[in-house]
Structure 1
């Protein structure tokens, strides 16, 4: 049986829940949200969990407990979008019609894109904090390693909080240094970019930390393949191929929009990632004016991260409310992005920047290129509480 809703949101992560909550605060009626998962995760804590500085119970809630009041929760996965008919097809065949649609299902992890990578994380020596079931495994591997080679990789292309691939490397080194074994461990950090991150000032701090820990940095380098049985990883960099043996491997796979979304007419034809085509400031689809997108699955220009999403949610909620009230949308997203780099298990560097990776500090008079202990308290202690009690309730 077909159903209809005023506003239909696809995706029950940070983007979908916080937007739904804010729309309800703005008195928008008949909001429905499509999300099959019974669990909701605060993923920024995964790096801390992997370093033994947090527990998984702090990062997970039942989805039903974070669902905003007055929102109709459709507990089935989306399978297709038919924008010409203002309809979403669900995995069970049901069609849901809408007046306004917001697409924010997040990115999928393309483990099969790199030969052997999926097998590697299931082996006793491989892991990835990007899988919700593995941060605790990461900590066990970090805690047990006393010598050998540890390899940490960051993927090319779009990725949710790409800097998280580096955070665990720095925190692991800090732990090994505390244990007095860092000198016995060869640490290799693999990044696809020409510099360690690309933001002026931030690169200098990261480079000094990398030198302090004795990390071998491979820039402009990607993972070609992994052999879990032989415990080897093949890298492809400017000088050609390189094979490394490992005793601990933390990998992050390439990422893209969900396959079902790629098959719709919403992505731009030339966009291989399959993300939803949008005006990068309005977050509105250029061909379907009643379709919007935000978060990781939107083809915006910014770095994909929670800090960017928080600003997107605020402006999109205002613009959607304006359209529903018969007005033109006036708010614009400023391409803000942020990555809190955990450089030790007690200090954080807040990297704030725009879509061109130019510094964009929230407090202009405060030097952003500096690691601080109070920033760690903010990232580790305060932000999780803000997330659960304010952001997901549409109040921050």
Structure 2
């Protein structure tokens, strides 16, 4: 499972060995074991990122989220341990960071999203100390739990940047868990919990907003929309936000903190946004239903780096991967593309220890539950699903290319 020659050539090349790339590789090889599939991935470790919130909340072990990359890639695939520098789709090739060329018959682009820690002044210098934490990195998620355990009341601040971002519910989840922790330890009355979001709404699907507002209200969490974190002074323990007043003028707001959980600004990776594969916003330009590139027909993309207009979650990848594989194989056989992705994604919104509100929806924000349970009700069952059922499903089913599924239906159907 290694590739070291100067000029590489494979039938199917997959950029990215995360949830999307690994799932597609495994599914292709389950259906066509004879395929020559290569996965380009520089990392040695594969993380189950949906559990990072639980790690930060002290209810899941960090070690259980990580497995060696080599063990998660499917048998029969070739692992190219490097990153991509440039794409040359007119020549059906790409160039790796070490200068090697890789040519392909079909390309799948799934490198994930880029975390831009440096966009907030002072953040990188203080992240992981001074009460500044983040569940968006495996290196820093455990420190969130340390901050919670050390919290004795005061100002607890939670931030969310303007979109795009992966798992857009995660910035709220840790706020609710932290507030519930404070409640359990009789600290809530001595605390000031505030949620600052650079977005214009608490959640992208309007139907869930009033229900989430009730959760925030239960804890006394203040909601501050249109506030983008621009600077952190870790020594002074002050966070600075930029907002726009009623006259349209930009102004800054300083907020002292005792605990600050930061969600970093995010974007398409630069080697994607600066490539011929990108649309005007920097994402891989694909058809929203087939996942096929709009210009280069032997290129497909799914996951966080794609232009698919839905929330960027592992649940979305689970539904995108079978469509991508079906259409990729059809393309290779010069057949019509019949697989169609409807935009399904889901976000298990953790609202307390032991409670989850499961937001499931498709394109245009249409709520589509899988089970006949109210999607707006906080549920102990969905907590069990998130904590105990989804991780083994991810490792043993999804990443193995297995495609068991339960249909989701519009709420009013």
TM-score under structure 1 normalisation?
Answer: 0.96
Question: Take 1:248 and 1:17, find their aligned partners in 2: how far apart are those partners?
Answer: 36
Task: State whether residues 158 and 175 of structure 2, in contact with CA within 8 Å, keep that contact through their aligned partners in structure 1.
Answer: yes
Structure 1 equivalent of residue 82 of structure 2: 76
Q: Paired residues, what number? A: 392
Distance 1:140 1:123 in 2: 10
Matches within 5 A, 1:206-355: 206-239=212-245, 240-268=251-279, 270-271=280-281, 274-355=282-363
1:91, CA displacement in angstroms? 1.0
1:13 shift after superposition: 0.3
The answer to whether the 8 Å contact 1:336/1:352 transfers is: yes
Which 5+ residue runs of structure 2 have no aligned equivalent? 1-5, 246-250, 404-413
The answer for the alignment partner of 1:383 in structure 2 is 390
| Long gaps (5+) in structure 1 | none
8 Å contact 1:152–1:165 — kept in the other structure? yes
Give the Cα separation in 2 of the matches to 1:34 and 1:131. 21
Residue of 349, 368, 374 corresponding to 1:360: 368
Q: CA deviation at 1:387?
A: 0.4
Matches within 5 A, 1:51-90: 51-90=57-96
- Structure-2 change in CA distance of 1:354 and 1:238 (3 Å): farther
The within-5 A match list for 1:21-40 is 21-27=26-32, 29-40=35-46
> Which residue of structure 1 lines up, in the alignment, with residue 406 of structure 2?
none
Aligned-partner Cα distance in 2 for 1:244–1:65:
45
Q: Which residue of 1 aligns with 2:138?
A: 132
The CA distance in 2 between the partners of 1:142 and 1:356, in whole Å, is 37
Q: Alpha-carbon deviations, 1:291-335, whole Å to 9, x = none?
A: 111000001111111111100001111111111222121111101
Note if contact 1:200-1:359 (Cα within 8 Å) is conserved in structure 2: no
CA RMSD of aligned residues (A): 1.3
Q: Is the 8 A contact 2:291 2:324 kept in 1?
A: yes
What displacement does 1:184 show?
Answer: 1.2
The alignment partner of 1:187 has SS state of strand
2:411 alignment counterpart: none
Offset of 1:162 from its aligned partner?
A: 1.4
Shift of 1:258: 1.4
8 Å contact kept, 1:303–1:355: no
SS at match of 2:23: helix
- Matched residue, 1:110: 116
SS at match of 1:327: coil
Q: Normalising by structure 2, report the TM-score.
A: 0.92
Q: State the shift of 1:238 in Å.
A: 4.3
* Structure 1 partner of 2:16: 11
Moved more, 347-356 or 39-48: 347-356
Structure 1 contact 17–66 (Cα < 8 Å) conserved: yes
- Whether the 8 Å contact between 1:26 and 1:321 is mirrored in structure 2 is no
**Partners in 2 of 1:13 and 1:183 — Cα distance?**
42
* Contact 1:11 1:33 survives alignment (8 Å): yes
Residues 198 and 35 from structure 1, CA distance in 2 versus in 1: closer, same or farther, beyond 3 angstroms?
A: closer
Contact 1:200 1:358 in 2 (8 A): no
